[in-house]
Amino acid sequence: MVPALALLLLALVGSGPAGDAPAASPSPAAVPAGAPARLTLPEDVKRLCAALAPVERLRPKGDAVARGDAERAHDVARGRALAGRYEAIVPAGKLELAYDAGAGTLGLAEPAQLPIADGTARLWPSEDPGLPVEVDAATARRLIEAQRAGRLSLGLEFALPDDAACGVGARGTRFTLPVEPVAWRWTNGETVIAAGGAAAERPLASAAAGATPRVTVGAPVAGPADARRAVAGRASGLEACYGEALRRTPALDGVIVAHVGGGRAAIAADSVGDPELAACVVRALGPAGGTAAAVPIRFELVPAKGAGAEAAARSRGRP
């Protein structure tokens, strides 16, 4: 499953000159908004599972009107939860790996269930259940060696099936959840070794490995063409934001669409998935006067010359 938002954002940043920008009046809702929600703590999982509970399982209190209002509110919350995008880090020490030498892929032995949030929940991939990545034998060995050393982890971004609900253990403290994987990365500490799904289209690079950060302002998604120039004028602030984010997460990349004009800056869409970076971008753009516009900003890592650059180019399908 390829995330339409990520593809749209990448296409927008690579679009033509500013003069080709459409003249439609934008709003923060012009592009689907929201970075993936991170499921890190047991409380994160419990909140999500509570929101996903089918409305017929509710036992609201009060009279008929109060019960009806409670059911409607829950149904709205459940719809939002089902439409969300999520991410989690899976410790890979006990995952069983399988390598297919003929196909040149490494993945999880099936059936696979992925523990997250201190073991509070297990994710069950309903699509691409093995989470395969294309690797040669040498890279597969690096993955296995990282696992043996206790340094291997799996970063997974996923959506939810339309009818998703959490399975609950007997004591109500353990959950299972079917998920639809979108992108995944195998990392040794902070170094990305291999990627699959939509992440296979992103460079295997990190600031820790010597990659150079780059910030590029694209033509407006909507609004006047000169909005691009105004955002680009804040380049030093945007670069500082990215540098700070890379100190937290050395392999961070993606696109943020900033809504500018109309009084204040806001985030219209975000495929980076780092709330602190998004907040820093808003601060860097500052008060936004003039006509409203939606401007994409690409944050990317340019791999160091040599083997790392060649691997990144191959991951993008370039010679």
Band the pLDDT of 290: cuts 50, 70, 90. Answer: confident
Cβ–Cβ < 8 Å for 198, 133: no
pTM here? 0.61
Q: What is the pLDDT of residue 17?
A: 38
Tell me: pLDDT of 161 over 50.
Answer: yes
DSSP 78-91: HHHHHH--EEEEEE
At position 289, the amino acid (one-letter code) is: G
Q: Specify which residues 294 forms β-bridges with.
A: 222, 259
pLDDT of residue 116: 93
* 152-161, 193-202, 288-297, 305-314: least confidently modelled range: 305-314
Tell me the sheet residues that pair with 158: 86, 181
Which tokens belong to 222?
Answer: 């909507």
Domain ranges of the chain: 38-200, 202-319
Q: CA 123, 43, 40, 146 torsion: positive or negative?
A: negative
> For the segment 63-98, what is each residue's pLDDT rounded down to a tens digit?
899 889 988 999 999 999 999 889 999 999 889 999
The predicted structure's pLDDT at residue 248: 80
Percent of the chain at pLDDT above 70? 81
pLDDT in tens, 10-67: 444 444 333 343 444 444 333 334 567 889 999 999 999 999 998 888 888 888 998 8
- In the three-class reduction of DSSP (H, G, I as helix; E, B as strand; rest coil), residue 266 is classed as strand
What pLDDT is recorded for position 215?
95
Buried b (16+ CB within 10 A) or exposed e, 208-247: ebebebebebbbbbbbbbebbebbbebeebbeebbeebbe
Distance, CA of 64 to CA of 105 (rounded, Å): 56
pLDDT of residue 202: 61
Burial class (CB in 10 A: 0-12, 13-18, 19+), 55: middle
pLDDT at 222: 86
pLDDT for position 27: 41
Query: Among 97-106, 113-122, 262-271, which is the least confidently predicted range?
Result: 262-271
d(CA 71, CA 87): 28
